Amino acid sequence: MKRMHVHISVDNLAQSIQFYSQLFGSIPSVEKPDYAKWMLDDPRVNFAISQRGSKPGLDHLGIQVDSGEELAEIEQRLQAADMSMLTQEGTTCCYAKSDKHWVQDPSGIAWESYHTLDSAPTFNDANDTAANSACCAPGAETINFISRKAGSCK
């Protein structure tokens, strides 16, 4: 089963947690000093917010899957769309270890498709330069550079 993922950078985490908890009628399933996440069933969405120095607003969108097979299906669709893609295996981001594929839509909005493998004690992996930004979404330059190194035509 797939779940829509939305991640928003916020100015004030405490106020935002209070607002979104009221809006969703639910407290966060994960709450850290710089991050909160709601795993909602109605609507079925993984909604996350963070306060890590990014400009407030939409950080990235994504599709969370429950299995490696579902992730491979999305990867095939992205390849068929001839998108520059960054693949990360076992990467740590947002207090979770995941396998993921990153692309950017034609307007430059980052899209993450991922399968969560386990929780993690830190927001990101300090050794992963792509993940050392305010969130873990790599920029267009990173996606295009890594895709060219891998032999992609984009």
Q: pLDDT tens string for the chain (154 positions)?
A: 889 999 999 999 999 999 899 988 999 999 999 999 999 998 899 999 999 878 899 989 999 999 999 999 999 988 888 778 999 999 998 899 999 999 888 778 888 999 999 999 998 876 654 444 556 777 656 665 444 334 333 3
Q: Which domains does the chain have, with CATH numbers?
A: 2-149 (3.10.180.10)
Whole-prediction pTM? 0.74
User: What pLDDT is attached to residue 135?
Assistant: 62
CA distance 144 to 121: 30
* Residue of 135, 134, 153, 133 lying closest to 85 (CA atoms): 153
Task: Please state whether the peptide bond connecting residue 43 to the residue before it is cis, i.e. omega within 30 degrees of 0.
Answer: yes
Tokens representing residue 58 in the block? 């939409």
